[in-house]
Structure formats: structure tokens, C-alpha cells
Amino acid sequence: MSKKTLVIGASEKPERYSNKAIKALRNHGHSVVAIAPRAGQVDDVIFDTEKKDYGGIDTVTLYVGPQNQVDFYDYVESIKPRRVIFNPGTENKAFADRLKASGIEAEEACTLVLLSIGAY
């Protein structure tokens, strides 16, 4: 089943994990939208530089550090995803607790690993 995923912190640089995640998500048949500090594209996924209401987001996967997540708190809550994945290096207890209080699952995990073991 396809899970529409929002990647926050997307990068065109192939060595970046957000880039690898976009490719892996698409290869696994998931619909992907992305937000980045600057315009760009990975495969068929064009990055937005503005926060948008994409509708129907199942999962938000974070590739921005805790210090850069504050600007996304209200936005992520407003789009009401089922879950938010805090990839390695993005762990943020304050944000996770806030999400849980709003009924949103907060998971410390690696999107690439979840996809590779069939647990996404």
C-alpha cells in the first residue's frame, strides 16, 4: 500500500540521506512530496520551498536537525500525518512529545532501514 510521504529537508546531493530516501520511497511505490531550503528535484519529485497543504500525508520523514525543526512544529501538526519519523540525527523529544499529545505517532527510526526490511 502506498503511503504518501512528505520529506522535510530534501537535497539534490546524491550522498545525502534525504536524497537516498526519496529514491527508495519512489522505488517502493510511495507517493513523495518534499520541502527544501532551495528549489530542486530528485527523479520525479520537485522540492517546494514553501510549506503547503498537500492533503493525505501519511508520513512525514525528517532530515533537518532539532534546531531547524521549530519552524515546522505548527505546520506538521496542521497537516495531521499519521506519523513522523525522526531519522538519525533529528531526534527531538520536545517535538515528539508535542506530536504524541496531538495524536500523531512519533518514531525514532531510519526511513531507509524501514523500507529495506519491509516495515515502512
C-beta separation of 77 from 106 below 8 A: no
pLDDT tens per residue across span 102-118: 999 999 999 999 999 99
- pTM exceeding the 0.75 threshold for the entire prediction: yes
Burial tier of 11 (Cβ tally within 10 Å: 0-12, 13-18, 19+)? buried
| Residue 9 pLDDT exceeds 90 | yes
pLDDT tens per residue across span 54-79: 999 999 999 999 999 999 999 999 99
Q: Which domains does the chain have, with CATH numbers?
A: 5-116 (3.40.50.720)
